A and B are shown apart, each in its own frame.
Chain A
């Protein structure tokens, strides 16, 4: 288990959020999540422009084993999706916090991040699971 990046926020459904300089946020699934799911073979990302409610199922990651929903940790509008995953879903396994990102959102409100976990809290959360 690799160390959790310190600059990210984490959800109980195993997504991570990074705040970008332009006010958007990038969302992906955690390394713990990809490890549990196994080899990715298909990723379905939301349509650009879609308005998401917090905790709405908005993407699907499919490993050889099973399909799993991805829930957006915060409400917002999808401004960009990671098209490269269509042909290279294994990127989620290889680089969950980097090239394996799923989508960028413009958050609906500024304080939504407060409900998410910092790395220590998330580590404790997965240890307890």
Chain B
């Protein structure tokens, strides 16, 4: 038996197909992954993401610590509630994890890191925190529900209690607001508007059921993956890992190079790679032939360059297969992908493939 979130029995009662995900028994779908995907693009769906790890950093030195720990610049967060996406690097510039950090109060930042990397993340954070006067506090009793889709915010607001409804309704993109033990943020991992809501695990089932009654469809981790892929968002462990830098993972934009004097972990290695010029890049692929792109399929580019698909799947929104692939930096507009011994034609595109309910790339182009 794996770890169970406070919503486990709720999922089972809803007929979810449960699978092991990084040691957790999680719903992959409740009937149809495709239908759940479309519901998020068109209406509103909710995901139990309570398996993710919430870590609070508390103390006057929390900000200086994050200035050192994270590749993105924590000083971009000047307004309370604001969120920032960042990589956490090792000294070699490899990605230990990607995470979201929320600026709660001047002496309190909240990190949300991946569940599959929980142990090594906590070890790393604790080790790096030693010289700083801060407390590293995991919050395992918090449940987290992501509600995503064009109607997600309205439906969430309809079930929130009055004191929290107003601040939640006023949230700008990439901001969060706390209310007692609850924290509501306008963030997500699907390319749709919506909220991610942290709340005490004891209240999770009641809130989930209230959302369901308000017309929010339960959705499994299956469509969470196709939604994030369409949105061009990386998945840790498949699109990047400790042996790969943000520069070859489509995440150069998340590196806070300025100010030049900020000494974050991995900076020297990253600077050297940047000066030499990264040899690979992460691109989007759209399969032009019939078939389905899958992780680890070989990509053949011009002049016999080789790459590899890091995340491949069928895109329900486009009705075609799409992928993220790591390819030589000089890769042109087209390539081939080897699937079961055959070479199929693919077009190199710039993600996102779809977001806010719509395709973001042209499907047919000579």
Name A's B-contacting residues (CB within 8 A). 38-39, 41-42, 44, 60, 62-67, 86
Shortest distance from the beta carbon of A119 to any chain B beta carbon, whole Å: 24
Interface 9-mer from B3-11, B112-120, B183-191, B288-296: B288-296
Q: Is the CB of A64 within 8 A of B291?
A: no
> How long is the Cα–Cα vector from A62 to B292 in the complex, in angstroms?
7
- Report if B254 contacts A (CB, 8 A): no
> How long is the Cα–Cα vector from A48 to B76 in the complex, in angstroms?
62
> How long is the Cα–Cα vector from A65 to B291 in the complex, in angstroms?
13
- Given A60-B340, A64-B222, A64-B226, are A39 and B292 also a contact pair (CB < 8 Å)? no
> How long is the Cα–Cα vector from A75 to B340 in the complex, in angstroms?
22
- Report if B110 contacts A (CB, 8 A): no
Q: Is the CB of A41 within 8 A of B314?
A: yes
Interface 9-mer from B28-36, B155-163, B261-269, B358-366: B28-36
- Given A41-B292, A42-B314, are A64 and B340 also a contact pair (CB < 8 Å)? no
Q: Which residue of B lies closest to A69 (CB)?
A: B340
8 smallest CB-CB distances across A and B, nearest first, come from A41-B314, A39-B34, A62-B292, A42-B292, A64-B33, A64-B314, A39-B33, A38-B33
B interface: dominant SS? mixed
Q: Is the CB of B313 within 8 A of A64?
A: yes
> How long is the Cα–Cα vector from A65 to B28 in the complex, in angstroms?
10
> How long is the Cα–Cα vector from A91 to B341 in the complex, in angstroms?
26
Q: Is the CB of B290 within 8 A of A86?
A: yes
Q: Which size class do B's interface residues fall under?
A: 10 to 19
Name B's A-contacting residues (CB within 8 A). 28-29, 32-35, 37, 222-223, 226, 290-292, 294, 313-314, 316, 321, 340
Query: Which residues does chain B contribute within 8 Å of A67, judged by CB atoms?
Result: 292, 294
Query: Which residues does chain B contribute within 8 Å of A60, judged by CB atoms?
Result: 340
Query: Which residues does chain A contribute within 8 Å of B321, judged by CB atoms?
Result: 41-42
Q: Is the CB of A42 within 8 A of B340?
A: no
> How long is the Cα–Cα vector from A60 to B290 in the complex, in angstroms?
13
> How long is the Cα–Cα vector from A103 to B290 in the complex, in angstroms?
19
Query: Which residues does chain B contribute within 8 Å of A42, judged by CB atoms?
Result: 290-292, 314, 321
- Given A60-B340, A64-B316, are A38 and B292 also a contact pair (CB < 8 Å)? no
Query: Which residues does chain B contribute within 8 Å of A86, judged by CB atoms?
Result: 290
Q: Is the CB of B340 within 8 A of A62?
A: no
Q: Is the CB of B222 within 8 A of A38?
A: yes
Query: Which residues does chain A contribute within 8 Å of B223, judged by CB atoms?
Result: 64
> How long is the Cα–Cα vector from A38 to B32 in the complex, in angstroms?
7
Shortest distance from the beta carbon of B100 to any chain A beta carbon, whole Å: 26
> How long is the Cα–Cα vector from A63 to B321 in the complex, in angstroms?
12
> How long is the Cα–Cα vector from A64 to B294 in the complex, in angstroms?
10
> How long is the Cα–Cα vector from A97 to B153 in the complex, in angstroms?
42
Q: Which residue of B lies closest to A41 (CB)?
A: B314
Q: Which residue of B290, B291, B314 has the most chain A CB atoms within 10 A of its CB atom? A: B314
> How long is the Cα–Cα vector from A44 to B33 in the complex, in angstroms?
21
Query: Which residues does chain A contribute within 8 Å of B291, judged by CB atoms?
Result: 42, 44, 62
Q: Is the CB of A64 within 8 A of B290?
A: no
Show 17 residue pairs from A and B whose CB-CB distance is below 8 angstroms, ordered by the A residue.
Answer: A38-B29, A39-B34, A39-B35, A41-B292, A42-B290, A42-B292, A42-B314, A44-B291, A60-B340, A62-B292, A62-B314, A64-B33, A64-B34, A64-B37, A64-B223, A66-B294, A86-B290
> How long is the Cα–Cα vector from A10 to B290 in the complex, in angstroms?
29
> How long is the Cα–Cα vector from A63 to B225 in the complex, in angstroms?
14
> How long is the Cα–Cα vector from A123 to B32 in the complex, in angstroms?
24
> How long is the Cα–Cα vector from A42 to B34 in the complex, in angstroms?
13
> How long is the Cα–Cα vector from A22 to B309 in the complex, in angstroms?
46
Q: Which residue of B35, B226, B290 has the most chain A CB atoms within 10 A of its CB atom? A: B290
